[in-house]
Amino acid sequence: MTKVRRRLKFTVSLVLIGFFIVAGTIASCSGSSNGDIEAYCALVEENFEIGLANSGIEQDDLEALLIVSPVEIASVVEKLRNTLADIAEIDELDQLFAATFDPDALVAQQKFEIFNADECGISIEAIAAALKANQKLVEDELLVFLEGNEVFSSWINNVSISMSFDGVKVLGVQVTFLTSSEPDQGLSVCHAVSLWMYALKEAEGEILVFDDSREIVRRNASDTKCVEV
């Protein structure tokens, strides 16, 4: 009988030890569930395009942000992540439009911007300015590439270049001749920009070449060709 009591007492002690270990683990986990505001703000600042709607942000970036999100913003970040995941799987244009302009997603975006401004000191204006500066750097990079190749010198001073840019990657380039182009110059422009965009930048998107307001050459993607229109 004595042996039974000792065994019972020993068993109860193990259960109590196990309970405190589990309780301690739960407490430590719940303590970390409030996120890390410094890591959160650092990620938003590093990936400033996170703060803009319809930007080039990747789902993995929002996943990483969600891990460190403080509890008061975590549900908002989760909504943005889920919306992005839904958009990525949609093929129908009407459904894509509905998902992109989902009222709940737009509200989440607004809450996200307000939180970032209040807690991280990152305003939507600052993000937009940074994106504009980044776009200017990429546009200048294209100009330096074109100016550094003598084969393009016949038209380089007779064009203006604008770019569609999402903060991360080039989505398209439009080149407009300032004065009437000569024969085959439109194709030359398209081939030059193609080399930079598809080969060097490894980007996708369309290239449009205009003579004043008239489109003369187009290339829709890297797996197509420059064609006169």
> Is 102 part of any domain?
yes
Residue type, 156: I
Tell me the per-residue pLDDT of 116-131, one tens digit each, with 9 for 90 and over.
Answer: 888 888 877 777 777 7
Q: Which of 195, 198, 194, 178 is nearest to 227 (CA)?
A: 194
What pTM value is reported for the model? 0.53
- Domain stop point among 103, 122, 141: 122
> Is 51 part of any domain?
yes
Same domain? For 50 and 103 the reply is yes
> Is 14 part of any domain?
no
Same domain? For 97 and 170 the reply is no
219 beta partners: 207
Instruction: Work out the pLDDT band at 5, boundaries 50, 70, 90.
Output: very low
Residue 55 CA from chain centroid, whole number = 5
Same domain? For 101 and 179 the reply is no
- Domain stop point among 122, 150, 184: 122
Range of the domain at 41: 37-122
